[in-house]
Amino acid sequence: MSSIKHYLQFKDFTREEYDYLFERAKWIKDKFKRYEPYHPMFDRTLVMIFEKASTRTRLSFEAGVQQLGGSAIYLNTRDSQLGRGEPVEDAAQVISRMSDLVMIRTFEQEMVERFAANSRVPVINGLTNEYHPCQILADIFTYIEHRGSIEGKTVAWIGDSNNMCNTWLQAAEILGFNVHVSTPPGYEVEPERAGLYGTDNFEQFADPVDACRGAHLVTTDVWTSMGFEAENEARMKAFADWCVDAEMMSVAAKDALFMHCLPAHRGEEVTAEVIDGPQSVVWDEAENRLHAQKALMEYLMLGRVEPR
């Protein structure tokens, strides 16, 4: 089953594949906005497995596959055998015999790797503790729409070195941009967990304002990710100074954008002034999950498709 292409982390694709996907996402988006039907997934089925909550990921995958002519089935841990100890390997064998594509949101990255190793169909990581590649795919597509190529640009990551941060760092290595990271002490990037090749595309800053200096994109995420709720109280104290505010935006590049994968907590990781302000593109970013993932699903199922 090793010849099947999966999307388990950002570095699973090359720069050339991303160039194709960003162009393809634009083509699919434009066509959809013109109300022109496009059904390359006719009669095909996406299975979505959720072991954590979701609004955007479920909506964008479910709407996306339907718009491409296919259908989606939602499974969760509560009312499937997945929550009752059926081995992941067995579940992968069965689910992949009844579907054409699988999307999984779960805790450990190891679970999606084990599933993929036993799947007859492509598997997509819809968020793990370690990575969130579909979100960064949409975020970079959004950056390109607003500002053009991200190559050589600087992204400031403020806050937790979580799944989003790790994925930005992988993307920087592949697409050739820089990431300025500022986390509270004790929450620094772990390069091995982030899955980095060891290139020098990121720099750590003790002060979040310094990390934002000259950045073309400032971005952040919740202080406490799903699965880490027991640490919430300690994190609220540790992260208090890592709130993206007007001062941080003022030292960034003049035309810097602000992004947040959402859901957001105004007054914690970002002020209302910034997330609801003129530099914020969070709603485009959320919408682009739909278009970018349609390109991703088409690519995993059909490979490269010429515009038609």
Q: Which stretch binds ligand NVA (CB under 6 A): 91-99, 151-159, 161-169, 280-288?
A: 161-169
Please say if 132 is a catalytic residue: yes
Phi-psi category of 303—alpha, beta or left, where left has phi over 0 and alpha has psi -120 to 50? Answer: left
Q: Which two three-digit tokens encode residue 307? A: 């515009």
Assess contact for 52 and 226: CB atoms under 8 A.
yes
Give the residues lining the site for ligand CP (CB under 6 A). Answer: 54-57, 127, 135, 261-262
Please say if 56 is a catalytic residue: no
Asked whether position 261 contacts ligand NVA by CB under 6 A, the answer is yes
Q: Which stretch binds ligand NVA (CB under 6 A): 157-165, 173-181, 242-250, 282-290?
A: 157-165
Please say if 243 is a catalytic residue: no
Of the two residues 126 and 208, which places its CB atom closer to ligand NVA in the complex?
126
| Residue 222 contacts which entry, ligand CP, ligand NVA, none (Cβ below 5-8 A, type-dependent) | ligand NVA
Inter-CA distances, 297 with 49, 70, 225, 237, 238, Å: 16, 11, 26, 40, 39
Q: How far is the CB of 64 from ligand CP (least distance, A)?
A: 13
Asked whether position 222 contacts ligand NVA by CB under 6 A, the answer is yes
Please say if 135 is a catalytic residue: yes
CA distance 247 to 231: 28
Assess contact for 57 and 127: CB atoms under 8 A.
yes
Residue in 177, 194, 174 with CA at minimum distance from that of residue 14: 174
Helices (H), the chain: 15-33, 56-67, 88-95, 109-117, 133-147, 163-175, 191-194, 208-212, 232-238, 246-251, 272-275, 282-302
Of the two residues 117 and 226, which places its CB atom closer to ligand CP in the complex?
226
Q: How far is the CB of 185 from ligand CP (least distance, A)?
A: 27
Q: How far is the CB of 118 from ligand CP (least distance, A)?
A: 25
Q: Which stretch binds ligand NVA (CB under 6 A): 91-99, 222-230, 248-256, 288-296?
A: 222-230
Where does this chain bind ligand NVA (CB under 6 A)? Answer: 127, 162-164, 221-222, 225-226, 261
